[in-house]
Structures are given as structure tokens and as C-alpha cells.
Amino acid sequence: MTGEHTVGRLVLAATPMGDIGDASQRLRGALASADIVAAEDTRRTRSLAKALQVEITGRVVRFDDHVESAKIPALLGDIEQGRTVLLVTDAGMPSVSDPGYRLVAACVECDLPVTCLPGPSAVTTALALSGLPVERFCFDGFAPRKSGQRREWLRTLISEPRTCVYFEAPHRLAGSLADAVEVLGPDRRVAVCRELTKTYEEVVRGTLAEVAAWAVDGARGEITVVVEGAQPRSANPADLVDEVESLMADGLRLKDACTQVAAATGASRRELYDAVLAARRDESD
């Protein structure tokens, strides 16, 4: 009688963002027992294990953005052969703006077991610290690098009622917030969370205008930004003409600009369109 073939599994494990005390006992056990540890940075993972006084007995393989697709077939084969693959990134939860999503999707496609060891996450930590409404929120990963693309992305938040969380590089933070002031207005509330759980953790809260002014002097470390959702408001279309014109100055067509402002304010799109044309006629007289 032949024995049954045992299928392994993929284990996603959250790692500390800065404070080693945030490492769970389950993470320690997984590092010690996994057949394979797929790590975004093998040196950092070995250093983490040493700090936790854990000996990694399995094989450690590199698994970052550059090799992710190439490594997936071999890792799937390992899981099919009964091995446990532990996936860890430099900090926080794998697959959340870090390597891992493609491997999880491949396991799901092949009907292979996937489980997760919960733990630190910059997204939920920043939300909790922001002081903003977080009953509903959206996560947009890293903000676009170039100002034009960033402004286009920010326009999608004009009428977004949910609080938005995104990551930003420290050297781009000032430009990102300046663009947000122009697109979302100076009064939208924001929280910039820096170096979460680390020695120099800092949370700067205020309006976009206030926090953008603070960011001009520069910020260091890992940055997570939490932006307040849009507050629907009813307004006289004539008072919103400048907002429409501002969007058009950034490249939107009149119709699209009216649609965005109307969605954010509750004004009638048709009345807003007519108000813009009327204002232009008044200027030409």
C-alpha cells in the first residue's frame, strides 16, 4: 500500500517594522521550522533570526521584485512536494506593496494551501494613529513618482469619501503634498507617519497646507501618508467655477472637470457647466 502524498504550504509572515519586540512567537517558530525561507533580503532575514535567537534550519532563497517571477515555478514545485515555504519581506506584511502577490496567486491557481501569520503593518498602524475616520479606507500603495501622474491620481481622490493611505519616499514627500494641496485643496486633513515603531517615530497631523509647509524642510525614514476622505457638500455652482478652471489648467476637459467637482460637492453638473460658460462670457464682455 502506497503512502498518501503530503502537500506542503505557503506561509506569509509579517515581520517587525522596527521594534524587534513586535515579532510574534509564531514568526519565531516558522523561521526555525520552515523547509524554505523565501526572503526579500536574505541578509536582513538572517539578521532578524539572529536578533530573535532563532536558527534557520531550512534553505534561504532570495525573493525580491527582480527575481519573483523566475522563482515562482520552483517554489510551487517545493510546495507540491510537501515542503513548507515561509515568505518574509524586509518589514511588515508580504504582498502589501512588497513581493508576494504573484506567488500567492500562483498557489491559489494551483490549489495549493496558503496561510498567514498576522503581525505588523504600516497601513493599519498609520490609520490607527492618524486621528482621521477609518471605518472605511482605501490603500493605494506608493504614490506615482512624477508630478503629472501624481496629480492625475490625486484627482481620483477629489470625490473619494474613504480615508486614503499611501506610501511615499521621503525625498518626494514635499512635492507629493504640494500637489495634494493644489488638487485636493489646502483644508483637507492629513497625517504623515514617519518611522513607525522605531526610535524616532513621528506623526505630523494637520491640514494639507500645514503639513506641506512642514515637509518643505525634508523628512527621513519610511513614510506612510493618511489623507482624509472627501466631505460631500452642497454649493452654489457659481462659487465652484474656480475649482473647475483649476482642473482644466491641469489638462482636464471642461466636461470632465465639471464631473469631478460636481461629484465632490453635490452640485449639479449641468448647472456647473453653465456657470463656467457664463463666467467666461462675463469676462469677455
pTM equals 0.78
Determine the CATH number of domain 123-227. Answer: 3.30.950.10
Q: Residue 5 — pLDDT band, cuts 50, 70, 90?
A: low
The single residue listed with the C-alpha cell 506561509 is 11
How large is the average pLDDT for residues 237-247? 90
Q: Is the pLDDT of residue 244 over 70?
A: yes
Q: Domain 9-120's class? A: alpha beta
Measured in whole angstroms, the distance separating CA 243 from the mean position of its chain's CA atoms is 28
User: Cα(97)–Cα(199) distance, rounded to whole angstroms?
Assistant: 23
Give the closest residue to 88 by CA, choosing from 56, 127, 112.
Answer: 56
For the chain, the structural domain boundaries read: 9-120, 123-227, 237-284
Q: Report pLDDT for 2.
A: 44
Decide: 78 and 8 in contact? Cβ < 8 Å. Answer: yes
For the residues of 166-203, what is the DSSP string, one character each? EEE-GGGHHHHHHHHHHHH-TTSEEEEEESTTSTT-EE
9-120 and 123-227: identical CATH topology: no
User: Cα(206)–Cα(51) distance, rounded to whole angstroms?
Assistant: 37
List, edge to edge, every strand of the sheet that includes 189-194. 137-142, 163-168, 223-227, 189-194, 202-207
Q: What confidence tens digit (pLDDT) does each residue in 133-172 have? A: 999 999 999 999 999 999 999 999 988 999 999 999 999 9
